[in-house]
Amino acid sequence: MGVQLGDLVEAKKISIEDLSGRTIAFDGHNILYQFLAIIRGQGVEPLKDSKGRITSHLSGLIYRNSNLMEAGIRVVYVFDGEPHRFKRRVLEARHEVRKEARVRYEKALRGGRMGEGRHRRGPHTHHREAGCFT
């Protein structure tokens, strides 16, 4: 859902070295979803192991953790359970966006327009129209 802190805290750019010796917590579900969404093998398929199991999230975690740990950062992932009921509209809207994108993708593939299908993922979801601010 996200928290907009711009009115409360002044944004400041820092380097990864500034975080050395600190513990940084990440939203575990969000990070896993990010890696599943962006890390791909050949074409549009997620990375998979020899048994066909998706491993994009594992690859992302290993790469990110090793870079952060090398910089002296302790990493914590927080898995906070079920989403709050206020987020239901956002999740439903995201589900609809993914469903529509899948239909467009499959239609593009059937029509021989692989490039169009591959790049029609659209913007990440910020569902102000759903009544929620993410």
Residue 116: inside a domain:
yes
Q: How much is the pLDDT for 125? A: 38
Low pLDDT (below 70) residues in the chain: 1-2, 114-134
Contact 108, 114 (CB under 8 A): yes
Can you give the residue range of the structural domain that contains 102?
A: 83-134
d(CA 46, CA 105): 15
Residue 77: inside a domain:
yes
Looking at the 3D structure of the chain, how many domains does it have? 2
d(CA 34, CA 127): 18
Cα–Cα–Cα angle for 42, 44, 45, rounded to 5 degrees: 75
Of 41, 60, 81, the position where a domain reaches its end is 81
**SS3 helix, strand, coil % of the chain, rounded to 5?**
50, 10, 40
Q: Which two tokens stand for residue 116?
A: 């169009």
Q: How much is the pLDDT for 131? A: 37
Same domain assignment for residues 21 and 71: yes
Range 57-96 burial, b when 16+ CB lie within 10 A, else e: beebbeeeeeebeeeebebeeeeeeeeeeeeeebeebbee
Q: How much is the pLDDT for 122? A: 44
Same domain assignment for residues 46 and 88: no
d(CA 130, CA 3): 17
Same domain assignment for residues 64 and 95: no
CA dihedral for 6, 39, 53, 49, sign (positive or negative):
negative
